[in-house]
């Protein structure tokens, strides 16, 4: 599975949003620790029509839930737009956490009517499952298996939902192929998965979106099964409800810088591709790439109004090695946000950053989100030792507030925690 009493020192930073109105720039409150558990793989979702915000992460050692697996998904819910959050609790204990299989690779999203959908891996077999909550995360439905496992093993899923929540697409990797399964009843059932690749490479879904006209998009990176070498960054597109998918390689990256942190793997820092769409159907895809093997990766975005023709790349950041970017759309047309992690402050001083797309189509000034320099052994005023977890989370609520969550630690699976903040 790849990419698979706290003293707060607040460093206030501001967001200069080029092309936006001259309103006072927002201030970023101090980042907060998700829980005192060993939590990574964090994701976030915000209700587009209500005050609820959801943070979800994988606790590698939660022990306070009888019957829960050793690696349990933990959920925090805010009912006031992210100002305060309820304590972290297991995502579900009624029918969906009563197994010995580890829960990992979570994704969470919210439909326009407030229905919350969570997807995760319920072990490698049966693999990806989806559960629903209609009471803001208090209770969850019995998980629906997306696809029966192929020879007992699938991995690295991602989920995209339509604004109504009725159309749900789950992409995953299995048998050295990529597959996408579709549901059109709000994840109550799934049609047989469609095989979308036919080679002997690793395929990692990393983003997805469904535009208002029903076109579905899933983004993936593709690499050699050794984890080394060049990486193709591919957009998959379906206009017929997932019955078939067209693919388009939008960029290629040479091999990423090596990861020398404790417990790391060859492809931990390999290039990734994510995507978001706004209420008008405009698409923004964000990716990292390097033209020189083992050199730091630059962060780029491209845009499209039809999903087939894309703009020239725009550079978002050239500050050392950019990783684990997420892009999300705000409530207004053309309003996009991006967050990522990089090590511009040193090899063991990573930070998390945020930008907003201005009305002039240009990315505004950076905001440093990882703004607390104490409180954990992996933190310093310069940053945190390592980006803990295989990805981070970003979403924007109906009031235009960004909600970001990411992992900080000392190495890969060597201990750490997830931290979150909102950018008004």
CB-neighbour burial class of residue 47 (10 A; exposed 0-12, middle 13-18, buried 19+): buried
3-state class of 377 per DSSP? coil
pLDDT in tens, 122-169: 888 888 999 999 999 999 999 999 987 666 678 899 999 999 999 999
Per the model's pLDDT, the better-predicted residue between 173 and 21 turns out to be 173
CA neighbours within 13 Å on the CB side: how many for 272? 25
Q: How far apart are CA 38 and CA 95, in angstroms?
A: 24
pLDDT in tens, 342-366: 999 999 999 999 999 988 899 999 9
Length of the chain: 424
pLDDT in tens, 43-75: 999 999 999 999 999 998 877 777 777 789 999
Lowest model confidence (mean pLDDT) among 99-103, 212-216, 264-268: 99-103
> Residue 166's closest CA among 183, 186, 181, 182?
186
Residue 21 resides in a domain: no
- On the question of pLDDT at 372 being above 90, the answer is yes
- Chain mean pLDDT for the chain: 90
Lowest model confidence (mean pLDDT) among 83-92, 205-214, 217-226: 83-92
The residues with which 215 forms a beta bridge, in sequence order, are none
Residue 223, domain CATH = 2.120.10.10
pLDDT value of residue 7: 35
- Is the four-CA dihedral 315, 365, 259, 223 of positive or negative sign? negative
pLDDT in tens, 168-193: 999 999 888 999 999 999 999 999 99
Residue 95 resides in a domain: yes
Q: How far apart are CA 27 and CA 401, in angstroms?
A: 12
3-state class of 204 per DSSP? strand
Which residue range is the domain that position 68 belongs to? 32-423
Residue 179 resides in a domain: yes
Most confident segment among 79-93, 149-163, 312-326: 312-326
Residue 18 resides in a domain: no
pLDDT value of residue 155: 85
How many domains does one find in the chain?
1
Residue 373 resides in a domain: yes
Tell me the whole-structure pTM to 2 decimals. Answer: 0.92
The residues with which 27 forms a beta bridge, in sequence order, are 14
Q: Mean per-residue pLDDT for 392-401?
A: 97
């Amino acid at each position: 599975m790849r990419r698979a009493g706290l003293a707060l020192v607040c460093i206030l930073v501001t967001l200069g949003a080029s092309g936006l109105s001259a309103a006072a720039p927002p201030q970023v409150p101090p980042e907060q620790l998700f829980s005192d558990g060993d939590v990574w793989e964090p994701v976030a979702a915000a209700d587009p029509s209500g005050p609820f915000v959801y943070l979800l992460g994988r606790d590698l050692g939660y022990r306070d839930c009888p019957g829960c697996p050793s690696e349990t998904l933990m959920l925090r819910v805010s009912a006031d737009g992210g100002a305060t959050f309820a304590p972290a609790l297991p995502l579900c204990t009624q029918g969906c956490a009563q197994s010995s299989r580890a829960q990992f690779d979570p994704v969470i999203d919210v439909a326009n009517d407030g229905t919350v959908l969570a997807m995760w891996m319920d072990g490698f077999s049966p693999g990806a499952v989806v559960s629903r909550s209609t009471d803001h995360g208090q209770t969850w439905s019995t998980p629906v298996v997306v696809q029966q496992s192929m020879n007992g093993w699938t991995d690295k899923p991602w989920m995209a939902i339509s604004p109504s929540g009725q159309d749900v697409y789950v992409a995953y990797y299995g048998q050295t192929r990529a597959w996408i399964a579709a549901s059109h009843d709000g994840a109550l059932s799934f049609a047989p998965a469609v095989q979308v690749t036919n080679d002997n490479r690793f395929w990692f879904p990393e983003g997805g979106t469904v535009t208002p006209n029903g076109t579905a998009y899933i983004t993936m990176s593709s690499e050699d099964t050794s984890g080394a070498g060049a990486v193709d960054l591919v957009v998959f597109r379906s206009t017929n409800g997932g019955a078939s998918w067209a693919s388009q390689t939008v960029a290629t990256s040479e091999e990423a810088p090596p990861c020398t942190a404790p417990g790391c793997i060859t492809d931990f820092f390999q290039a990734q591709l994510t995507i978001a769409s706004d209420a008008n159907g405009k698409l923004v895809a964000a990716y990292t790439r390097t033209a020189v093997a083992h050199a730091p990766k630059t962060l780029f975005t491209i845009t499209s109004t039809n999903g087939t023709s894309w703009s020239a790349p725009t550079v978002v950041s050239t500050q050392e090695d950019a990783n684990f970017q997420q892009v999300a759309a705000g409530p207004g047309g053309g309003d996009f946000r991006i967050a990522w992690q990089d090590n511009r402050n040193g090899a063991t001083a990573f930070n998390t950053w945020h930008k907003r797309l201005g009305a002039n189509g240009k990315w505004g000034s950076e905001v440093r989100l990882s703004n607390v320099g104490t409180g954990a052994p992996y933190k310093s005023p310069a940053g945190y030792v390592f980006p803990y977890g295989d990805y981070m989370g970003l979403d924007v609520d109906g009031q235009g507030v960004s909600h970001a969550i990411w992992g900080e630690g000392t190495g890969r699976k060597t201990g750490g925690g997830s931290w979150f903040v909102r950018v008004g």
